[in-house]
């Protein structure tokens, strides 16, 4: 989680941070600056996501982020896709801010 926190702070050029939870979960609580693309809609955003050099994916605990990463790499042939270990549950447990 510390590496993810560092990356969010630095915002490397060409990177995007994606929360793949449902819109309702995202509206309830999310990390500032992270876009919401539900895992069930990831295929609808391939053109947009393909423009980034690095895609960091997270969810609540890691399951949906893992599925999204596998789909992006194996099915849609995108590269430089990274699953954030833990997810928002870990973020909150560590006392980090959400909006």
Q: What is the set of active-site residues? A: 59
Strands of the sheet with 35-36, listed across from one edge: 35-36, 15-19, 54-58, 81-83
């Amino acid at each position: 989680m510390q590496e993810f926190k560092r990356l969010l702070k630095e915002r490397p050029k060409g990177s995007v941070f994606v929360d793949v939870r449902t819109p309702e979960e995202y509206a309830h609580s999310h990390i500032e600056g992270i876009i919401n693309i539900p895992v069930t809609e990831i295929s609808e955003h391939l053109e947009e996501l393909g423009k980034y050099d690095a895609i960091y994916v997270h969810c609540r605990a890691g399951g949906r982020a893992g599925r999204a990463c596998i789909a992006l790499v194996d099915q849609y042939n995108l590269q430089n896709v990274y699953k954030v270990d833990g997810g928002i549950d870990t973020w909150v447990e560590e006392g980090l801010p959400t909006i």
